[in-house]
């Protein structure tokens, strides 16, 4: 991790390894953008139910979302660990546990949805589109809330550990500009 902004290098109280610059957060923000796009596509599929083509599209999107969530968790955990877990006395570690719990819930919802959509795609008769639509909405609403919460938490709790450009990158993502 580097110290690319003058405002960060002037802070002698923080060890350099605890400073994150825009390169450090860029991968996470890019994954957030991908997750948001997949959520938007899944929302369109939910709106298109009970049409069969919406179900077929949702099967593909939900599988991609589940895979993206799995990869994203690794990247985000590394960033959160670098920012906060170096000091186990910080009360923010309970927040990290909550974020990790939300990751697990999102994974479970994605897997449940993938299974339900796979079964629905095989049905010959009418679909139970209300239940599928509800499951899709739970997943994409939860993912969107989780992304917003994580970015806001990093911005608020690690403000002094982020370079000016890293803060701007996270702010832009949180505000929908990334």
The confidence band for 83, taking pLDDT boundaries of 50, 70 and 90, is confident
> pLDDT tens digits, residue range 151-171?
998 898 888 888 899 999 999
Tell which residue, 175, 123, 143, 127, has the closest CA to residue 61.
143
Q: What does the pLDDT read at residue 141? A: 95
CA distances from 110 to 37, 70, 99, 101, 105 (A): 15, 10, 16, 14, 9
> pLDDT tens digits, residue range 105-116?
998 999 999 999
CA distances from 144 to 17, 137, 165 (A): 29, 10, 23
User: Which of these ranges, 88-92, 128-132, 145-149, has the smallest mean pLDDT?
Assistant: 88-92
The confidence band for 24, taking pLDDT boundaries of 50, 70 and 90, is confident
Q: What residue segments make up the domains of the chain, in order of their start?
A: 17-174
CA distances from 161 to 2, 46, 93, 100 (A): 11, 40, 16, 21
Q: What does the pLDDT read at residue 18? A: 67
Q: What does the pLDDT read at residue 7? A: 44
Residue 154's CB: how many other CB atoms inside 10 A? Answer: 25
> pLDDT tens digits, residue range 41-74?
999 999 999 998 999 999 999 999 999 998 888 8
In CATH, what class is 17-174? mainly alpha
Cβ 14 vs Cβ 161: under 8 Å: yes
Give the three-state DSSP class for 162: strand
Q: How many CA atoms lie within 13 A of 17 on its CB side?
A: 7
Cis check for the bond before 50: say yes or no (omega within 30 of 0): yes
């Amino acid at each position: 991790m580097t110290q690319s902004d003058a405002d960060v290098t002037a802070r002698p109280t923080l060890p350099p390894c605890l400073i994150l610059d825009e390169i450090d957060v860029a991968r996470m923000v890019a994954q957030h953008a991908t997750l948001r796009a997949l959520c938007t596509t899944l929302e369109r599929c939910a709106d298109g139910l009970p049409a069969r083509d919406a179900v077929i599209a949702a099967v593909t999107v939900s599988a991609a979302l589940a895979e993206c969530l799995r990869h994203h968790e690794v990247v985000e955990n590394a960033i959160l660990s670098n920012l906060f877990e170096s000091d186990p006395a910080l009360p923010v570690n309970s927040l990290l546990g909550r974020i990790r719990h939300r990751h697990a819930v999102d994974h479970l919802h994605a897997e449940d949805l993938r299974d339900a959509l796979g079964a629905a795609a095989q049905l010959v008769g009418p679909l139970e589109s209300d239940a599928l639509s509800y499951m899709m909405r739970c997943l994409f609403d939860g993912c969107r809330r989780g992304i917003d919460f994580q970015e806001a938490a990093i911005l608020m709790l690690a403000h002094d550990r982020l370079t000016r450009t890293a803060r701007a990158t996270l702010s832009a993502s949180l505000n929908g500009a990334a």
